[in-house]
Structures are given as C-alpha cells and as structure tokens.
Amino acid sequence: MCFIIIVHDKLIPYADKITPEPILNNNADRDTKADSIRNSYNSQFKVGIYGWRKKCLYILVMALMFMMIINLALTLWVLKVLDFNSEGMGQLRIVPGGLQLLGQALVLDSLFASSIKSRRGQPITIESSRNFSVSTRDPHGLLQSRLFLGHDRLEVNVARLEVRDSRGALLLGAGQDTVTVGADTLTVTSPAGVNLHTAVQTPLVRAPPAKQLVSVYL
C-alpha cells in the first residue's frame, strides 16, 4: 500500500520523501553516546581495592600468615620437649587399664588414683619432706581412719587396730575398751619389767627357760 501527499500542488510519493537512513544514523549515534557514558562511568567508579586499602589488606594477610607459622613452630616445639608419641608422653605410657610411669614422679599437688602399683619385681618408694598421711573417707566424705607418719612419731587413728601374721591369725588387737594378744607367748624383755596399774587376769606366770622367776609384787 502506498500513500500520496500533496505538496505545492504536486504529487510526491511518501515512500520517496521519508527514507530509513536518518533513523539508522540516529540509532548509531545513540549507541555511541551510551558507550561513551558507560566508559566514563567505569573510569570514575573502579571495582576492587586500590591504594592504601590494598596495602593494609596485604599487611593483614602477611601478619596472619606469620602468626600461623609462629603458632605451628611453638606447637612442634612443645611436642618435642614433652616427648609426645603414640604411646604417651615422655616416660608416661598409656597402657590398658591405666598409666605406666617409667622413672620417678614428682607430685606437686593432690594425686587421685584407685590403685598404685610398682613394676613387677621392683619395689615402690614414697618419700615426703615433712610427713606422710593416708586417710580414708566414707561415701559422705567424712574421715574414717588416718595414718600419719611424722619425723618423730607414727599415729594411727582407727576404731580398732589389728596386727596379723602371714596366715591371717590375730597377733595383736586394740580397741577402745580392750587390747587382745593373740600370740602364744607374750615376752617382756625390758630390764625394768612391766608395771600394770589395773587388774590382770592370767592363768599362768612363768620365768623364761632356764631362769627363775625373780619376784612378783602385788
């Protein structure tokens, strides 16, 4: 379909009057202006870290790396000094059921253990600079018995003290009210003899073998 317009009394075809070249030129100019605006925008606003911020970031990363290296070196040094290995630490070995110590141990504070045993065929020695105490407590934490070994005395605080032989027979028993001697013979070797300030019940008093009974004072 073709339109016809009248200009100065002449018939001019509309298609011959309007051509598409100006439209194409306008689009090209518009694209060129858009590209120039985009380039100027990108040149003004750069994406990334530049200047002193970049230097500070590099310094921070280097400081973190240095701290990591120092931490790793200290960890390896501690492992080397304490002699950590797959079996334990130094002379302390992890064995089934507990710990095994090869050598001497210095306990600076409390030691909690269910049992302490020496190596097979070796004695165990416990030393203390002032005194040595062993205590037992009931389930409520109250003191039941106590063994105190000082520089000049040995104290045992118990309800009853018993001394038995290797067969388990009672040799000496001491309680709050009575003292029992379970041995067959009670021998007193003191030159001054024995002074008893209370009653004594005995079926027999005799002298040592091949000696006479010197005196008995009542």
Q: What is the DSSP code (8-state) at residue 84?
A: B
* Tokens (6 digits) for 203: 């079926």
Q: For position 61, what pLDDT does the model report?
A: 94
Q: What are phi and psi of 212, to 5 degrees?
A: -100, 155
Q: For position 5, what pLDDT does the model report?
A: 46
Q: Are 133 and 124 in contact (CB under 8 A)?
A: no
Q: Are 142 and 151 in contact (CB under 8 A)?
A: no
Q: For position 79, what pLDDT does the model report?
A: 85
Q: For position 27, what pLDDT does the model report?
A: 59
83 Cβ contact partners less than 8 Å away, ≥ 6 residues apart: 89, 90
Identify the segments of the chain with pLDDT beneath 70. 1-49, 215-218
